[in-house]
Amino acid sequence: MSIVIRRNFGDLSALKLTAPELMREIGLMAARLIRTRTEHGLDVHGAAFQSLSDGYAKQKQKALGHSRADLQVSGRMLNDMQVTEVTENRATIGFISSGAGSSRGTFIQRSRSVGANDKAFFHNEVGAGKSQVIREFFDLSEADADQIETAVDAYLEKMLQHA
What are 36-55's pLDDT values in tens digits? 999 999 999 999 999 998 99
Residues 6+ apart with CB under 8 A from 131: 53
Distance CA 16, CA 58 (A): 54
> Residue 41 phi/psi, 5° resolution?
75, 30
Q: Is the pLDDT of residue 15 over 90?
A: no
pLDDT for the residue numbered 72: 86
